[in-house]
Amino acid sequence: MTIKVGDRIPSVGFAKATADGPEGVSSDDFFAGRRVALFSVPGAFTPTCSAKHLPGFLDKAADLKAKGVDEIACTAVNDAFVLGAWRDHNNAGDAVTMLADGNGDFAKATGLTMDGSKFGMGTRGQRYSMLVNDGVVEQLNVEAPGEFKVSSAEHMLEQM
């Protein structure tokens, strides 16, 4: 079953990409008591993710925070080292927290997986954005395959 607005975020572990390497963090702790703009990409360093998705959230970070977002986070079925390198490559600094879902546990638990086998990527997370308030989904924008419209930072801002 796919997660929907009003549902609680599933309890899983992430690896948070930090300057000192991977740091384990539970979804329960990460989303507790704050409003998080979360976006998911099929993979770091992939074309749309690198050219549009991450840059859009970096460009709109101040606008999102002005609308009550406490933290912006990105998740992908990649390891923390890859997400950390992608953050650094894009000069994202602390503007976006990278949450590695290396085994796809979060993607599976939310029901938001996709099959990237024909591209040699295996099972990945779908492209989406989600506004999470104290662990509860407030907004969910899942892209149709091959599209980039509703998961953008701009679309999220329009909905707030």
What is the sign, positive or negative, of the torsion defined by CA atoms of 123, 126, 127, 132? negative
Are the C-beta atoms of 156 and 131 separated by less than 8 Å?
yes
Q: Which two tokens stand for residue 94?
A: 């602390």
Q: How many CA atoms lie within 13 A of 154 on its CB side?
A: 7
Catalytic: 49? yes
Q: Kindly report, residue by residue over 116-155, the tens digit of the pLDDT.
A: 777 767 677 888 999 999 999 999 999 988 888 899 999 9
Q: Kindly report, residue by residue over 49-100, the tens digit of the pLDDT.
A: 566 788 889 999 999 999 999 999 999 999 999 999 989 988 888 899 999 9
Catalytic residue (choose from 36, 49, 98, 130): 49
Domains in the chain with CATH codes: 13-155 (3.40.30.10)
